[in-house]
Amino acid sequence: MSKQVSTKAIPVEQRLIFALDVADVDAARALVEKLDGIVHFYKIGLELFMSGRGFELLDWLVARDLKVFLDLKFFDVPATVAAAVRQVAGRGATFATVHGNQAIMEAAAANKGQTLKILAVTALTSLDRGDLDDMGFACDAEALVLSRARRALEAGCDGVVSSGLEIQALRRQISHELLVVSPGIRPVDNRPEDDQKRVVSPTRAFASGADYIVAGRPIRDAADPAAAAAAIQNEIAGVFA
C-alpha cells in the first residue's frame, strides 16, 4: 500500500460521499432510497439546498443515521459567515465548506461548534490554468491549492476540498492531520463534455492521500445507480485492504 494512503480512523464505507446534485428534495430522497445500505455519506449542494427544503433534507438524512456534507461554500463578510455557520452548527452535518480569505475562514472555524468540521475550498475542479489566468492568479493550480491549504490550517479549518491532482503535493508539504476531500471523481477518463476539468479515479485519489472522495454523475447518471455506487465502494475497499 502506498505510504500516501490515509491512515485516519474513517470507516471505509464512509469514504465515498455521493453528491446529491439534483433540483429537488423528492428526487434526492429517491436516490438515497436507491442507495440504501451502499452509500452512507451524502453531499447537499447549493442548488438542492436552495430548493426551499434544504434543512428538511438535512434533518431527514441525519435521522437516518447518515452523514451529511453541506457544500454551500460560505463567502461573505466575516460576521455574516460566522452567523451562517452558527445556523448549521449543531444540526448534525459533518462537513460544511467555506470559500474566502483568511478572515472568512477564521470566522467559520470559530463558530463551527463541537461536531461540525469546516473545509476550505482551494481551487474549484471546474477551473484549469487558463481560468486561473483569467481570474488574475499568477500561479498554477498546485501553488494556489498549497497556499490556500496552509492558510486554512492557520485559520483553524479542519480540512480542504481539493482536486485529486494536487493531493500528493498537499501530503508532501502540509500536515497529514489536514482532512482532504477530493471531488471531481470519475471511474473512467474524463469526457470532453464534462465541465469538471481536473478529475481523477477513486483509486488514484486515495493512493495520493485523499481521506474522502465525492462522486456524483458516475452514480446518479448510471443505468443502475446502486450497482455503480457498489462498484466504487468495492474499488475503495480494494485500496484499503
* Cβ–Cβ < 8 Å for 202, 187: yes
CB of 201 within 8 A of CB of 187?
yes
Can you tell me the distance from the alpha carbon of 51 to that of 8, in angstroms, rounded to the nearest whole number?
Answer: 35
Calpha distance 171→2 (Å, rounded)? 12
Residues 120 and 135: beta-carbon distance below 8 Å: no
Q: Which residue do the cell numbers 491512515 mark?
A: 7
Supply 194's cell numbers. 464534462
Choosing from 3, 8, 67, 73, the catalytic residue is 73
Q: How far apart are CA 125 and CA 221, in angstroms?
A: 19
Decide: 160 and 121 in contact? Cβ < 8 Å. Answer: yes
75 in Cβ contact with 84 (< 8 Å)? no
Catalytic (active site) residue 73: yes
- What is the amino acid identity at position 174? I
Give the catalytic positions in this structure: 73
